């Protein structure tokens, strides 16, 4: 039986996996999620313990894509997605102290966990589009990690042209170069004269006015509202859980959180059968979720720049997917709540708040604490963490409860992606880029600088699409 996907707001067409892969945001403004989740019994989970990362990924993902992609094909796409990760284990687990662990998710091509989803997404898209004889255009805005991971994931796709918009002069040198030095006739970097919000607004407006594209070409979203990204991220929660004694011993996760995509995948792993006691939402000063959990009110606030830019958000889009479960799948109520939220803030019902608090805890970590934590871990373990991961390890210790079992922090980026932030921790160490990127600063950059002007950008894109 293949899984059907529906919108959190209940008014968009129900889709199969292929449909949801190509869809992005639902037409009613909601987010797609599976109508029912696969569930693994304890015996099934025990049988999965010895699997390699790619075998496990195939097992966990197969039920979600059934009816669209056969198992053998899936296994090949998964294998190709993780083959170039620089660590044999793909997602190695490192012990920090007695019951604190680090899951290193930065061994992919662009050194952030986003590679786990986007390497697979590119291959899934190309496979499905080849079969359908169609081509698509990917358009995304980035303030950092998403852009390079999406470009790396799609650079070899025959049927995809990819356009990434970033604010001119406002992304770090490493992050920009990871995008602009990629060779590929289908890869287009657009430096927009504006800020990140401008870039995001341009992308949003483009999804409303798709007709600027050549005939038979549609736009696909690669931000974390795309269901396939969430799906790929569920796998490493199982992988870490098994490594630490699951399913016979519950585990806990601390997740550096921005848009709530990554930790939502952890929540899904728990619902699919993995015993988890505590999911820690680790935030920087942009603490919309921490305030929600402590006060019961979900309210947006202006973005403030921090040392962990990939978590600088004013709202967490994927939280709507959790809300859907907190309100027992009552789509009309979610639509009403999100409408209310667009005018300011919402208060969670007592029941909803009790539900979210039964699994999630949270902590906010300041820039100063982040630096102290990087320095502390360096001194105690000899490991150099990036600022996002350090927020995770500190939140893990703040929220760890005796008797809960091992706590795993997701290390979401390699420290060399954020050298300035790591330098401010005064460890005296400068993180080095791994060998495949060591000549990053010698490579030729390619990008086009464009005005913050929708018509001009559309004309540019239409002209650049491959025939």
Ligand X SMILES: *Cc1c(COP(=O)(O)O)cnc(C)c1O
**Residue numbers of the site for ligand X (CB under 6 A)?**
112, 114, 145, 224, 256-262, 310-311, 388, 412-413
Of 40 and 106, nearer to ligand X (C-beta) is: 106
Contact 409, 101 (CB under 8 A): yes
Alpha-carbon gap, residue 286 to 311, rounded angstroms: 7
Shortest Cβ distance from residue 158 to ligand X (Å)? 27
Q: How far apart are the first and last CA of the chain?
A: 38
The enclosing H or E element of 161 equals strand 160-167
Residue 204 annotated in active site: no
Most distant CA pair in the chain, distance: 60
Least distance to ligand X from the beta carbon of 347, Å? 23
Nearer to ligand X, 96 or 311 (CB): 311
Q: Is the dihedral of CA 145, 151, 154, 156 positive or negative?
A: negative
Active-site position among 114, 135, 204, 417? 114
Q: What are phi and psi of 239, to 5 degrees?
A: -60, -45
Q: How far is the CB of 258 from ligand X (least distance, A)?
A: 3
Minimum CB distance to ligand X, residue 424 (Å): 17
The rounded distance, in Å, linking the Cα atoms of 383 and 248 is 30
How far apart (Å, rounded) are the C-alpha atoms in residues 433 and 111? 9
Cα 60–Cα 63–Cα 68 angle in degrees, nearest 5: 125
- Give CA 129 to chain center in angstroms: 23
Whether the upstream peptide bond of residue 266 has omega within 30° of 0, thus cis, is: no
Of 126 and 320, nearer to ligand X (C-beta) is 320
In angstroms, give the least distance from the CB of 342 to ligand X: 20
List, in sequence order, every beta strand (DSSP E) within 263-377: 276-283, 297-299, 345-347, 360-364
CB of 114 or CB of 285, closer to ligand X: 114
Residue among 68 and 370 whose Cβ is closer to ligand X = 370
Pick from 27, 35, 29, 41: which is nearest to 5 by CA? 35
Would you say 421 and 387 are in contact if contact means Cβ atoms under 8 Å apart? yes
Rounded to whole angstroms, how far apart are CA atoms 183 and 454?
Answer: 26
Nearer to ligand X, 181 or 259 (CB): 259
Nearest approach in angstroms of CB 262 to ligand X is: 4
Catalytic residues: 114
């Amino acid at each position: 039986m293949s899984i059907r996907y529906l919108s959190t707001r209940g008014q968009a067409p129900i889709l199969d996996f292929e449909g949801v892969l190509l869809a992005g945001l639902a037409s009613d403004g909601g987010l797609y999620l599976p109508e029912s989740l696969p569930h693994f019994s304890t015996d099934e989970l025990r049988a999965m313990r010895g699997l390699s990362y790619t075998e496990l990924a195939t097992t966990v993902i197969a039920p979600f894509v059934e009816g669209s992609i056969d198992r053998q094909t899936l296994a090949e796409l998964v294998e190709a997605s993780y083959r170039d990760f620089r660590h044999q284990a793909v997602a190695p687990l490192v012990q920090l102290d007695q019951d604190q662990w680090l899951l290193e998710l930065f061994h992919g091509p662009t050194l952030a966990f986003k590679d786990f989803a986007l390497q697979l997404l590119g291959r899934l898209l190309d496979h499905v589009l080849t079969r359908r004889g169609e081509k698509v255009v990917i358009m995304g805005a980035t303030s950092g990690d998403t852009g390079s991971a999406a470009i790396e994931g799609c650079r070899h796709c025959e049927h995809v042209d990819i356009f990434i918009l970033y604010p001119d002069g406002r992304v770090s040198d490493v992050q920009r170069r990871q995008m602009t030095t990629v060779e590929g006739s289908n890869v287009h970097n657009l430096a927009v004269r504006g800020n990140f919000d401008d870039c995001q607004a341009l992308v949003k407006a483009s999804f409303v006015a798709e007709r600027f594209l050549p005939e038979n070409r549609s736009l696909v979203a690669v931000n974390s509202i795309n269901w396939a990204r969430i799906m790929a991220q569920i796998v490493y929660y199982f992988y870490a859980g098994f490594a630490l004694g699951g399913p016979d011993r519950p585990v806990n996760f601390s997740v550096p959180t921005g848009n709530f995509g990554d930790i939502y995948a952890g929540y899904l792993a728990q619902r699919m059968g993995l015993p988890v006691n505590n999911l820690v939402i680790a935030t920087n000063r942009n603490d919309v979720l921490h305030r929600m959990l402590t006060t019961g009110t979900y309210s947006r606030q202006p973005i403030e720049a921090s040392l962990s830019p990939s978590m600088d958000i004013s709202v967490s889009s994927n939280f709507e997917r959790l809300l859907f479960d907190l309100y027992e799948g009552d789509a009309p109520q979610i639509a009403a709540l999100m409408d209310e939220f667009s005018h300011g803030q919402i208060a969670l019902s007592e029941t909803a708040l009790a539900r979210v608090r039964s699994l999630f805890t949270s902590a906010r970590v300041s820039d100063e604490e982040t630096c102290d934590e990087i320095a502390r871990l360096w001194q105690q373990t000899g490991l150099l963490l990036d600022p996002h991961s350090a927020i995770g390890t500190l939140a893990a210790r703040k929220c760890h409860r005796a008797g809960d079992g091992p706590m795993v922090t997701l290390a979401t980026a390699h420290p060399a992606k954020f050298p300035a932030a790591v330098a401010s921790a005064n460890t005296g160490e400068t993180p080095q880029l791994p060998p495949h990127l060591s000549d990053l600063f010698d490579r030729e950059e390619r990008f086009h600088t464009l005005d913050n002007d929708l018509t001009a950008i559309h004309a540019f894109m239409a002209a650049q699409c491959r025939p």
